[in-house]
Amino acid sequence: MVFKLFSDDVKTYQIVIIAQLRQPQIKTLIYQMTKALLYTIATAALLFASAGIHSVQANDEKLAFVYELVRHGARAPIIEEPKGWFQVKLGLLTATGMRQRNLLGSYNRQRYVEREGLLDEVYNPSQLYIQSTGVDRTIQSTYSELLGMYPPTNTQQLKKSLSEGSISDKAMPPMKIRGSVGLEGTLKATLPLYLDSYVNVPVYSFLAKNTPDDDIQPGGCTYALTYNSDHWNKVATYAGISDFIMPILREPVGKAFGYTRAEIDALTFVNIYMLSDVLLAENMEGDTPRYNFTSEQWHYIREAQKIVLLEPISDFARELWITKQFRKPMQAFHQRVNEILAQSNNNDTLRYMLYSAHDVQVANVLHWLQPVDFEVIDVPYASNFHFELSYNETCLQTETPNKYQCFSVKVLYNNEPIHLGTCLDANQKAGRHTKTCIYTDFIAHIDSLSFKGDLAAECERPWNSEPSPFRKSHQISG
């Protein structure tokens, strides 16, 4: 038996069990499932073991707010996969991807609900804000994670909601979609099927493209979107980089897909990127390798992914886009700090923001943050940032002239701490023996990287349009 996830024309997701397998398939299936299971066990072990390293707060330290940015889980390739291994359509989440994000949700529950008490044990809509890109795999990933964070506890209520078939009476609030004017009838008819009627926590998304309120997708910043669209498939974008990598990958990748000599010679860097995506997706699902790549070749297959995520976006386009992406989380940080300084006892305020996105968002945030001595080869499925705001209760009770110094921010990437130059310099100057950011230093670091000016006006214009007067005076490369 194997679980299969499929999508029909109305994007209805169902889990079905394939019970009839031909005998020749069984050995291959056992190998594939065993490899996927081992990966899942390893992922779980990493999450829960590392929890003991990074999640213990000092006795007088208390967690106050978390911003999470996360890539979707494992998926089928984004181009046709010749071997027909994947039982889901192009780009859709696989069962492995669901497990990845569900495990992350279970870890988040253990840390932020059970251990730290940041969030209520039962979902409190005032404490969480969740937003996803409007892509099937990110929406599916989000609900997989949330089912780990807030697993269903009332089966009878869920069954009752299913039988009644309405949107408004689910066990928890339904998904809310913006930019959906005129589609109410269609949404009412299809959303119960689309979400399998298991809606625990509302997830905000955008059906309309290029919505200014959408801070996650490049489409929320037209300048970034058009710059990336115009550059990602151009040979000149990867000049220099491809000159080094193509001789290493052209031959083995072409042979892996059974290409002719002429087809191999015609491969571009973007072609290699697309084919590498297939190889990485197959590897994640435990498929039998189609070619015996060397460790060096596999390294550059992975790195090709990161290169195509970063190179087509200029420094200025990235600055606009990531500044926009960070604006609401930064506002939430400041709001939470002020609540604590005001000694508010209101438990129904925002404590957690989750942005469910893609590798392009995660890779560009990591590049934009400029962490010290921290490099990655690629951005694997389910890669995530956690920005954790904490405060020192003892410090707040003293006559400290600057109470903001009582707050700190820890930045974790895949549960490993990353360190920011502004914070390290300030800590050294003040004689603090820590690499964690004091809140004001974290704000200073983000501010030093952020766009200063009319963000909306700059984002709304295409990159190759006439620059605004401000843009002409803005000194930045790229």
* Mean pLDDT to the nearest integer, 370-390: 97
The answer to whether residue 437 sits within a structural domain is yes
- Mark whether 306 and 325 lie in a shared domain: no
Q: What is the pLDDT of residue 17?
A: 24
Regarding predicted confidence, which is higher, 233 or 29?
233
Tokens matching residue 421: 């130059």
- Mark whether 476 and 360 lie in a shared domain: yes
The region of weakest confidence among 46-55, 327-336, 468-477 is: 468-477
- Mark whether 204 and 147 lie in a shared domain: yes
- Mark whether 402 and 444 lie in a shared domain: yes
- Mark whether 303 and 331 lie in a shared domain: no
The whole-chain average pLDDT of the chain stands at: 80
- Mark whether 332 and 305 lie in a shared domain: no
pLDDT tens digit string along 428-478? 999 999 999 999 999 999 999 999 999 999 999 899 864 443 333 222 222
Q: What is the pLDDT of residue 152?
A: 75
Instruction: Pick the last residue of a domain from 310, 343, 363.
Output: 310
The region of weakest confidence among 56-65, 317-326, 382-391, 438-447 is: 56-65
Backbone angles phi, psi at 3, to 5 degrees: -80, 135
The answer to whether residue 1 sits within a structural domain is yes
233: CB partners within 8 A, 6+ apart? 270
Regarding predicted confidence, which is higher, 470 or 188?
188
The answer to whether residue 259 sits within a structural domain is yes
- Mark whether 385 and 473 lie in a shared domain: yes
- Mark whether 377 and 433 lie in a shared domain: yes
Domain housing 256: 233-310
The answer to whether residue 180 sits within a structural domain is no
CA-based nearest residue to 91, from 103, 104, 80, 102 = 80
Q: What is the pLDDT of residue 60?
A: 82
- Mark whether 378 and 434 lie in a shared domain: yes
Is the dihedral angle over the CA atoms 452, 458, 384, 14 positive or is it negative?
positive
- Mark whether 280 and 323 lie in a shared domain: no
Sole residue written with tokens 């000599």: 261
- Mark whether 347 and 445 lie in a shared domain: yes
Q: What is the CATH number of the domain that holds 84?
A: 3.40.50.1240
CA-based nearest residue to 55, from 106, 105, 107, 97 = 107
* Mean pLDDT to the nearest integer, 112-122: 95
- Mark whether 345 and 367 lie in a shared domain: yes
Say how many domains are in the chain.
Answer: 2
Instruction: Pick the last residue of a domain from 268, 288, 310.
Output: 310
Instruction: Pick the last residue of a domain from 264, 282, 310.
Output: 310
Whole-angstrom Cα distance, residue 48 to residue 418?
Answer: 19
